[in-house]
């Protein structure tokens, strides 16, 4: 539904507005009496831990572990108690108030507005009384972490308990404050630690079963480094759904939440990380250092609470709940295929809904346009302002046609809108005369001359930041862009052929972008429909042809997705040309980097995104699911084995040298 | 109001006229009871008197043709707008029930202004003419077994007591009905009828008390043969009582209340008391695997039956001795029990009997919430100390029961009630919208009952239960006996309802109660029901490994074009929910035609095949063609 935030019928309230007019202290100390879940009377945080530890399921697991190891039941139980202690939240209203007070101050400084859709909030309020609610926000920034609690506190809705990464708990003081604001902490790599899995899953399930509080978790698992959606993590998703599958609750409500930012707090940090500069450890000191970041303007933020989804309705016909009838439900059991498929499907569906619900800013469209300008022009002379403006306005129309939620201020002239965007993003672009050029990091004074490689990195940081903002509107253009690419590469008009290539592309890119499993036909049809709707193509049951007027759209879309395709080709080239038999993951990435830098320096490659460790990781995972690449756990590091012929074949198809083949995909690994 | 009471009077007058007419012109088909006398002679001298029969051949003389129970007993709102129960048969008869009106209005949004009256009398022209198999009728005549082809007799035996069946009758809609009714008086009469039916390819449908709630008595509309309803009500004698082995041999048509009354005269009882026991018959219990309220002491029907005789198209099946337990292959009694009239007619049953209990005592316990209540019942079952009956009603049903409290005459009682309420809700802090009540019935020696009572109350106390008096307990049991009368009242005011049951492992009890009740509410909402429905349950039986749960749902159907369809969809969805939550297809109502679609998944392909092959052997021509179960 094409709509701007002001003209749409939905009521979007700026929650900062009131904060600017009345005192933060009285907000923090307001009467907080939310309507809780009707089914169960409230229980305390310590009750929750006690119930978890005494659950029948954990007794089974303790016994299993005690039998397998040399530990006694008591010892296993004690281990579990310690794990639970490390994990558990300790939600207290006093700390919510403290958090409310602090966040009011911080948010007012950082953001001009925080828009929240009231309709979604009202639906949520209703849903919370009916069944256990799972809040599932997107994860693009650390800010995501507490904004939901802040909004819910403001609107008298029960505040959630939140699944957080364990490193946060390690931060002095802050960890404890978070814990008391409802955060519970999960280790980053659990691997095959059976006891940990069991304790965590029972803890999560107990929260859902008792309706203790809404449960908030990031289905993408990690904060996205690239501002595009991350393939969902399935373990937590399954834990949350299981109480419904087993009939322990009547229904569960999933609420996808899309949090969109004009400008992301961590933008440059993320770009550095993608280039291989590791993320600093989360420390309290680091946080204070970051206060420098707090002096800047980050524009506005948009929290869009999606339509609450009934798990019961979603799973209708997908799950046979009576499969649990013949064994005790508490018995640890291998997941059945229908449960696995359903969890995978639901997790992807939620991410897609998050994408659909997110708002994009004019800046994202500008980033799309800027990225299609040669990098050398951008870094040196810059792009002509009028061209940038015209292209962006053209793209605005296309985006609206494709159904984007675009946040485009209406009372302001287009010229001023775009100018304000450039001003907001002064860390990436600068307006010089009638041109806009890329801002690169300042050269440290003590260095007189940078090596060629360092120059590349300097440009790459800015380019990756730009690419991240482009990624905010990725979901709008992705499917038509894939179709455009397919048309361009195959040069075919036959619908069958196009569809086959489309599916091939989807397989290759399945770790890069989010596709709901088993929906290839719908994805293809959606692409065809959108392209037809904007007059770019004509299609019949057999044929798809590009119209005269559609050339512009097709070439824009091809260029839009080109950086990804090109990066994949480069990576595949690398894998065919190099021997990587005994190589650690880290060494591999370094090798790819220097390969890419060489290509960039030689002028053969323009695509700086090929340097992104994210893309490299994604293609390796894609090749693994296709069975072309195997990863071993070596003595000290991972080792790879590559089927070079197969890699070459894939690359040839991607270049259009070979007709596409159906790829054989290994089924999803166990949850 | 005035118009209503005048139509009531009219109806009563018409009914009276019919009865008189019936006495005056006995249909030519009716024969004097010579054959019955012959039967008695054949069996020798029965040592038990058998003068009073509750069920006459013309049931419609004493029972409603389009509702539950006796014609003289029904709920109505009197001129003052107060609910009242008519007649003299029940404890509640003649009493004013002041709370019922408010409860009905509050729970369903029903109003006394909006009535949905039933068709007062059966319009015989609406009944399909009988398909008569002349040759069969001739031969039946020759046997002198009484029979009838009258519309009233046939319509009465064309239904059980499912909502859709009664609703259709109230609207005067009559579907396929039996073409003829026969009243055998003894086992040998049945043998003759079954032989003739086989010979002339006539479809037989056994009819006992007519209390089925599984569409088991509905005539299959696709049946083209003549359908004969075999009414066992006249086979109602206790043939002998064996005091050495404590067994009684009884004809299968006897209804529960007669069986119990007659045995009591000799100082015995069976203790088998299904909620329908006023009208349901021994043969029906056997054919549906019935369960009685006091099964904790006496057992369910399969525990009570020592010997069964059943007449099938292949001949008579029975065991050769009365050994209390046998290892002789699969128990053939289990082909009979639960066969739901698809294999033959149960004619005689030998049952265990017990000396009448010395002492009976009701009781009740209030729990702060349903979870605590279930935990208590589970503990009672674990310790195997369940009283004769223990039932746990949820909060909605507790309120329902409360609304049925008759008017109290003394100020003192109402003061005491007030005090009790104050103590529980204010002093003990029970939330009136969460608390629930368990009703208890103890039986046995005076001393043991008191001991037992203490044990149970002690357990209850551990789960926060407070003893809440005998009166509450007794009223809880009354609810189950009058619920069907209440449904008739509801239907007068646009409220329809149904009940169904299941059995489920202990760990699933809470989940199934919550989920099924929630499913009912959600389905009603989705189907356009304007007011929130009544959706309530109780745990009615406890076993070692699980419990029986009984659900009621009812709703105001104003504004719905096809309320019965909606109700059926809701019940269907509720059953799906039960099965998904690990509940059984039925604990004691049976399958009939209503729940047939789930039989395959319930007993597996092979299981269904086994049942089918038994049917194919016993009744290859589908003489017992009610098409239940399979």
Nearest-5° angle of CA A353, CA A355, CA A356? 65
Residues A642 and A631: their CA atoms lie apart, in Å, by: 9
The pLDDT value given to residue A457: 87
**pLDDT of B28 above 60:** no
Virtual torsion, Cα B182, B187, B193, B194, nearest 10 deg: 130
Q: In which band, very low, low, confident or very high, does the pLDDT at B54 lie, cut at 50, 70 and 90?
A: confident
Integer Cα distance of B456 and A100 in angstroms: 52
Least confident of A330-334, B63-67, B609-613: A330-334
How many angstroms from the chain centroid is the CA of residue A60? 36
- Cβ atoms of B398 and B475 within 8 Å: the answer is no
Phi-psi region of B187 (alpha: psi -120 to 50; beta: other; left: phi over 0): alpha
- A203: helix, strand or coil: helix
pLDDT on residue A453: 85
User: What pLDDT, on a 0 to 100 scale, did the predictor assign at position A39?
Assistant: 65
Contact criterion met (CB below 8 Å) for B547 and B504: yes
Q: Are strands A183-186 and A161-165 parallel, antiparallel or unpaired?
A: parallel
Query: Do the Cβ atoms of B582 and A39 come within 8 Å?
Result: no
> Which has more confidence, A165 or A447?
A165
Which ipTM did the prediction report? 0.88
Residues A245, A325 contacting (CB under 8 angstroms): no
Asked whether the beta carbons of residue B581 and residue A321 sit closer than 8 angstroms, the reply is yes
- Amino acid A666: pLDDT: 59
Q: What is the pLDDT of residues A97-135, one digit of tens each?
A: 998 999 999 999 999 999 999 999 999 999 999 999 999
Q: What is the arithmetic mean of pLDDT over B506-513? A: 97
The predicted structure's pLDDT at residue B23: 40
Collect all residues with Cβ–Cβ distance below 8 Å to B208 and sequence separation of at least 6.
B232, B233, B252, B253, B280, B281, B282, B283, B284, B287
Cα separations in angstroms, B254 against A186, B239, B274: 68, 11, 14
Least confident of A272-281, B210-219, B228-237, B384-393: A272-281
Mutate to test the interface with B, among A40, A60, A211, A247 (most CBs of B within 10 A): A247
What's the rounded Cα separation, in Å, for the pair B220 and A31? 65
The tokens for B117 are 């009256």
User: Cβ of B511 and A324 within 8 Å?
Assistant: no
Residue B630 CA to residue B622 CA, distance in Å, equals 12
Mark yes or no for CB contact A248/B579 under 8 Å: no
Is the model's pLDDT at B35 over the cut of 50? no
pLDDT category of residue B111 using cuts at 50, 70 and 90: very high
What is d(CA A231, CA A514) in angstroms, rounded to the nearest whole number? Answer: 6
Strands B238-242 and B203-207: unpaired
For the record, the structure tokens of A52 come out as 């978890």
Mutation site, B506, B532, B582, B602, interface A, largest A CB count within 10 A: B582
User: From the CA atom positions of chain B, what is the Rg in Å?
Assistant: 24
- Backbone φ, ψ for residue B607 (5° rounding): -60, -45
Tell me the pLDDT band of B475, cut-offs 50, 70 and 90.
Answer: confident
Q: Which of A325, A327, A329, A339 to mutate to probe the B interface, most B CBs <10 Å? A: A325
Alpha-carbon distances of A338 from A245, A321, A335, A516, B501, rounded to whole Å: 11, 10, 8, 16, 29
- 3-state DSSP assignment of residue B302: helix
Helices (H), A517-606: 520-533, 551-577, 585-601
Residue-averaged pLDDT of chain A: 89
Confidence (pLDDT) at B42: 44
Cβ-proximal residues to A551 (8 Å cutoff; 6+ apart), any chain:
none
Helix (H, G, I), strand (E, B) or coil at A183: strand
For A191-241, how does the pLDDT look when each residue is reduced to its tens digit (9 = 90+)? 788 999 999 999 999 999 998 899 999 999 888 989 999 999 999 999 999
| Structural contact between residues B357 and B444, judged by C-beta atoms closer than 8 angstroms | yes
Contact A322 B514 (CB under 8 A): no
Mean predicted confidence (pLDDT) in A612-636: 84
Nearest-angstrom CA–CA distance, B626 and B592:
9
Provide the shortest C-alpha distance from residue A322 to chain B (in Å): 4
Residues of chain A that touch chain B, judged by Cβ-Cβ distance less than 8 Å:
39, 41, 247-248, 250-251, 320-322, 324-325, 328-329
For the segment B59-70, the average pLDDT, to the nearest whole number, is 95
Cα separation, A104 vs A20, whole angstroms: 9
Per DSSP, B177 falls in state: -
Summarize the confidence of residues B142-153 as an average pLDDT: 96
Per-residue model confidence (pLDDT) at position B103: 94
pLDDT over threshold 60, residue A94:
yes
pLDDT digits 0-9 by tens, A393-417: 999 999 999 999 999 988 899 999 9
> In this structure, are residues A243 and A208 in contact, taking their beta carbons and an 8 Å threshold?
yes
Q: Do B341 and B379 contact (CB within 8 A), yes or no?
A: no
Strand partners, B308: B349
Contacts of A329 in chain B (CB under 8 A): 507
Most distant CA atoms of chain B, gap in Å: 76
Chain A contact set for B368 (CB, 8 A): none
pLDDT of residue A637: 63
Per DSSP, the three-state class of B553 is strand
Q: Across B59-112, where does the E strand assignment appear?
A: 75-77, 83-85, 96-97
- Residue B434 CB coordination number (10 Å): 16
Query: CA–CA separation, B166 vs B153, rounded Å?
Result: 16
pLDDT at residue B406 tops 90 = no
What are B180's two structure tokens?
Answer: 């003829």
Q: Sheet harboring A3-4: ordered strands across?
A: A3-4, A405-406, A359-360
* pLDDT tier for residue B8 given thresholds of 50, 70 and 90: low
Share of residues in chain A with pLDDT > 70 (%): 92
Q: Which residues contact B602 (CB under 8 A, 6 or more apart)?
A: B579, B584, B585
Q: Nearest CB to A322: which of B511, B519, B579?
A: B579
Q: A127: which residues sit within 8 A by CB, 6+ positions away?
A: A133, A253, A255, A308
Identify the band that residue A276 occupies on the pLDDT scale cut at 50, 70 and 90.
confident
Residue B529's pLDDT is 96
Residues pairing with A140 in the sheet: none
Separation of alpha carbons A184 and A205, rounded Å: 13
Helix (H) or strand (E) holding A288: helix A284-289
Contact B508 A251 (CB under 8 A): no
* pLDDT score for B541: 97
pLDDT of residue A189: 77
Model confidence pLDDT, tens digit, residues A542-596: 999 999 989 999 999 999 999 999 999 999 999 998 887 777 778 888 899 999 9
Residue A389 has pLDDT above 70, yes or no: yes
CB A137 within 8 A of CB A144: yes
Per-residue confidence (pLDDT) for residue A126, from 0 to 100: 93
Question: Which helix or strand (DSSP H or E) is residue A98 part of?
Answer: helix A93-110
Please give the average per-residue pLDDT across B478-499, as a whole number: 92
Digit-coded pLDDT (tens) for A502-525: 999 999 999 999 999 989 999 999
Residue B20 has pLDDT above 60, yes or no: no
pLDDT digits (tens, 9 = 90+) for B155-200: 999 999 999 999 999 999 999 999 999 999 999 999 999 999 999 9
Q: Looking at residue B50, what is its pLDDT?
A: 46
Would you state the pLDDT for residue B10? Answer: 55
Is B547 in a helix, a strand, or coil? strand
Whether B77 shows a pLDDT value over 60: the answer reads yes
In angstroms, rounded to a whole number, what is the distance separating the alpha carbons of residues A135 and B172? 54
Three-class HEC string of A300-368 = EEEEEECCCEEHHHHCCCCCCHHHHCCCCCCCCCCCCHHHHHHHHHHHHHHHHHHHHHCEECHHHHHHH
Is pLDDT above 50 for B47?
Answer: no
Whole-number Å distance between alpha carbons of B553 and B520 = 8
Token pair in block for residue A268:
């440059």
Instruction: Write the Ramachandran bin of A657: left for phi over 0, alpha for psi from -120 to 50, otherwise beta.
Output: alpha
- Which chain A positions have a beta carbon within 8 Å of B507's beta carbon? 328-329
pLDDT of A356 higher than 80: yes
What local confidence, expressed as pLDDT, does residue B409 receive? 64
Collect all residues of chain B within an 8 Å Cβ-Cβ radius of residue A324.
582
Per the prediction, chain B carries an average pLDDT of 90
* pLDDT value at A489 more than 70: yes
Contacts of B525 (CB under 8 A, 6+ apart): B532
DSSP H stretches of helix in B551-598:
563-580
Q: Tell me, what's the pLDDT at B565?
A: 97
Residue B441: what are its φ and ψ, rounded to 5°? -135, 120
User: What pairing do the DSSP bridges indicate for beta strands A12-14 and A113-117?
Assistant: antiparallel
- In sign, the C-alpha dihedral spanning B609, B613, B616, B622 is negative
Question: Is residue A21 classed exposed, middle or buried when 0-12, 13-18 and 19+ CB atoms within 10 A define those classes?
Answer: exposed
pLDDT at B533: 97
Predicted pLDDT at A145: 82
CB contact under 8 A, A248 and B581: no
Per-residue confidence (pLDDT) for residue B16, from 0 to 100: 46
CA atoms within 13 A on the CB side of A3: 12
Where does the pLDDT of residue A444 fall: very low under 50, low under 70, confident under 90, or very high at 90 and above? low
Cα–Cα distance for residue pair A337/A667, rounded to 1 Å:
11
Q: Which two tokens stand for residue B15?
A: 């009914």
Point out the least confidently predicted range of A23-32, A406-415, B218-227, B529-538.
Answer: A23-32
Question: A218 or B51: whose pLDDT is higher?
Answer: A218
* pLDDT reading at B22 higher than 90: no
Residue B617 designated active-site:
no
Structure tokens at A242: 């299981």
On whether the CB atoms of residues B86 and B274 are closer than 8 A, the answer is: no
- For residue B365, the cross-strand partners are B438, B467
d(Cα A180, Cα A178) in Å, to the nearest integer? 5
Q: At a CB cut-off of 8 Å and minimum separation 6, what does B416 contact? A: none
Q: What is the mean pLDDT of residues B280-301?
A: 97
């Amino acid at each position: 539904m094409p709509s701007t935030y002001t003209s749409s019928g939905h009521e979007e309230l700026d929650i900062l507005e009131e904060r600017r007019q009345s005192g933060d202290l009285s907000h923090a100390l307001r009467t907080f009496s939310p309507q809780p879940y009707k089914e169960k009377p409230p229980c305390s945080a310590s009750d929750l831990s006690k119930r978890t530890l005494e659950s029948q399921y954990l007794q089974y697991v303790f016994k299993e572990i005690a039998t397998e190891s040399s530990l006694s039941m008591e010892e296993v139980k004690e281990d579990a108690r310690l794990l639970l202690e490390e994990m558990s939240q300790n939600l207290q209203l006093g700390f919510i108030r403290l958090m409310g007070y602090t966040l009011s101050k911080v948010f007012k400084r950082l953001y001009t507005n925080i828009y929240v859709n009231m309709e979604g909030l009202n639906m949520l309020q209703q849903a919370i009384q009916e069944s256990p609610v799972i809040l599932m926000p997107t994860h693009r920034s650390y800010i995501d972490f507490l904004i939901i609690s802040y909004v819910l506190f403001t609107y008298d809705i029960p505040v959630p308990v939140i699944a957080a990464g364990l490193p946060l708990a390690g931060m002095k003081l802050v960890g404890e404050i978070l814990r008391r604001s409802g955060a519970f902490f999960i280790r980053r790599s659990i691997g095959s630690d059976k006891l940990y899995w069991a304790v965590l899953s029972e803890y999560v399930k107990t929260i859902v079963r008792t309706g203790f509080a809404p449960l908030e978790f990031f289905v993408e698992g990690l904060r996205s480094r690239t501002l595009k959606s991350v393939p969902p993590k399935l373990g937590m998703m399954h834990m949350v759904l299981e109480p419904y599958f087993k009939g322990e609750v009547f229904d569960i409500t999933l609420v996808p939440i899309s949090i969109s930012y004009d400008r992301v707090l961590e933008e440059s940090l993320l770009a550095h990380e993608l280039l291989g500069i590791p993320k600093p450890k989360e420390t309290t000191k680091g946080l204070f250092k970051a206060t420098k970041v707090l002096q800047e303007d980050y524009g506005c933020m948009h929290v869009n609470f999606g339509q609450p989804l009934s798990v019961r309705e979603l799973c209708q016909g997908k799950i046979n709940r009576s499969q649990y009838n013949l064994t005790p439900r508490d018995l640890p059991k291998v997941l059945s295929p229908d449960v696995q498929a359903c969890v995978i499907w639901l997790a992807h569906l939620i991410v897609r809904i998050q994408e659909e619900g997110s708002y994009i800013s004019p800046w994202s469209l500008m980033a799309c346009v800027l990225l299609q300008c040669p990098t050398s022009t951008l870094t040196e002379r810059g792009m002509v302002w009028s061209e940038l403006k015209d292209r962006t306005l053209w793209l605005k129309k296309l985006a609206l046609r494709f159904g984007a939620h675009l946040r485009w201020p209406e009372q302001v002239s287009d010229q001023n809108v775009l100018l304000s965007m450039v001003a907001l993003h002064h860390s990436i672009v600068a307006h010089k005369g009638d041109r806009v050029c890329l801002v690169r990091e300042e050269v440290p004074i003590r260095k007189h001359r940078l090596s060629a490689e360092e120059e590349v990195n300097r440009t790459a940081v800015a380019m990756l930041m730009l690419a991240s903002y482009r990624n905010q509107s990725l979901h709008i253009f992705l499917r038509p862009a894939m179709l455009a690419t397919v048309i361009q590469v195959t040069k075919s008009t036959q619908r069958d052929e196009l569809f086959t290539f489309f599916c091939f592309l989807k397989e290759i890119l399945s770790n890069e972008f989010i596709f709901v499993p088993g929906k290839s036909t719908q994805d293809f049809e959606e692409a065809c429909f959108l392209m037809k709707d904007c007059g770019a193509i004509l299609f019949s049951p057999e044929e798809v042809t590009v119209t005269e007027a559609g050339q512009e759209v097709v070439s824009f879309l091809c260029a839009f997705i080109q950086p990804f395709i090109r990066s994949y080709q480069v990576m595949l080239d690398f894998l065919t040309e190099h021997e990587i038999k005994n190589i650690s993951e880290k060494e591999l990435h370094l090798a790819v980097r220097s390969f890419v830098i060489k290509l960039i320096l030689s002028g053969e490659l323009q695509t700086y995104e090929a340097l992104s460790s994210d893309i490299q990781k994604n293609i390796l995972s894609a090749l693994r699911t296709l069975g072309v690449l195997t990863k071993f756990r070596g003595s000290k590091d991972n080792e790879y084995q590559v089927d070079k012929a197969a890699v070459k074949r894939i690359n040839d198809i991607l270049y259009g040298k070979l007709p596409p083949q159906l790829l054989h995909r290994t089924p999803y690994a166990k949850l | 109001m005035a118009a209503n009471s005048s139509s009531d009077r009219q109806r009563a007058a018409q009914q009276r006229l019919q009865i008189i007419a019936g006495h005056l012109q006995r249909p030519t088909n009716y024969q004097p009871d010579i054959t019955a006398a012959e039967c008695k002679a054949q069996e020798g001298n029965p040592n038990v008197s058998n003068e009073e029969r509750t069920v006459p051949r013309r049931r419609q003389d004493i029972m409603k043709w389009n509702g539950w129970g006796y014609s003289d007993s029904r709920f109505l709102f009197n001129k003052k707008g107060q609910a009242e129960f008519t007649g003299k048969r029940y404890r509640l008869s003649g009493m004013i029930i002041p709370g019922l009106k408010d409860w009905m209005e509050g729970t369903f949004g029903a109003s006394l202004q909006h009535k949905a009256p039933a068709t007062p009398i059966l319009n015989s022209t609406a009944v399909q003419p009988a398909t008569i198999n002349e040759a069969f009728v001739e031969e039946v005549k020759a046997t002198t077994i009484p029979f009838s082809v009258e519309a009233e007799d046939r319509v009465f035996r064309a239904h059980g007591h499912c909502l859709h069946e009664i609703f259709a009758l109230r609207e005067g809609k009559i579907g396929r009905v039996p073409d003829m009714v026969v009243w055998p008086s003894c086992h040998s009469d049945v043998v003759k009828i079954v032989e003739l039916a086989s010979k002339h390819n006539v479809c037989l449908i056994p009819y006992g008390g007519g209390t089925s709630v599984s569409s088991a008595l509905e005539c299959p509309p696709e049946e083209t043969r003549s359908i004969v309803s075999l009414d066992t009500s006249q086979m109602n004698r206790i043939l002998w009582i064996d005091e050495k082995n404590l067994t009684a041999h009884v004809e299968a048509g006897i209804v529960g209340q007669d069986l119990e009354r007659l045995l009591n005269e000799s100082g015995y009882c069976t203790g088998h008391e299904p909620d329908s026991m006023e009208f349901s018959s021994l043969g029906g219990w056997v054919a549906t695997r019935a369960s009685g309220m006091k099964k904790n002491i006496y057992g369910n029907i399969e525990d009570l039956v020592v010997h069964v005789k059943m007449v099938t198209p292949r001949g008579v099946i029975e065991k050769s001795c009365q050994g209390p337990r046998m290892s002789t292959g699969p128990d053939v009694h289990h082909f009979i029990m639960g066969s739901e009239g698809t294999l033959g007619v149960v004619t005689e049953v030998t049952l265990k009997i017990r000396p009448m209990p010395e002492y009976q005592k009701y009781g009740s316990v209030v729990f702060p919430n349903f979870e605590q209540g279930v935990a208590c019942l589970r503990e009672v079952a674990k310790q195997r100390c369940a009283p004769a009956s223990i039932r746990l009603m949820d909060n909605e049903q507790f309120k329902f029961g409360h609304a049925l409290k008759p008017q109290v005459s003394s100020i003192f009682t109402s003061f005491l009630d007030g005090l009790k309420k104050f103590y529980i809700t204010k002093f003990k802090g029970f939330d009136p919208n969460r608390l629930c009540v368990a009703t208890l019935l103890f039986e046995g020696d005076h001393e043991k009952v008191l001991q037992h009572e203490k044990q149970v109350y002690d357990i209850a106390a551990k789960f926060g239960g407070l003893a809440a008096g005998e009166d509450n307990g007794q009223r809880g049991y009354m609810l189950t006996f009058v619920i069907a009368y209440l449904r008739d009242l509801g239907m007068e005011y646009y409220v329809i309802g149904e009940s169904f049951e299941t059995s489920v492992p202990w760990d699933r009890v809470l989940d199934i109660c919550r989920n099924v009740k929630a499913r009912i509410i959600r389905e009603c909402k989705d189907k356009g029901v304007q007011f929130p429905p009544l959706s309530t349950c109780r745990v009615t039986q406890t076993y070692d490994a699980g419990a029986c749960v009984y659900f009621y749902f009812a709703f105001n159907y104003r504004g719905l074009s096809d309320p019965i369809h909606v109700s059926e969809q809701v019940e269907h969805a509720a059953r799906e929910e039960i099965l998904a939550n690990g509940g059984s297809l039925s604990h004691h109502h049976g399958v009939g035609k209503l729940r047939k679609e789930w039989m395959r998944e319930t007993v597996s392909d092979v299981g269904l095949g086994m049942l089918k092959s038994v049917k194919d052997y016993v009744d290859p021509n589908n003489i017992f063609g009610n098409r239940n179960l399979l």
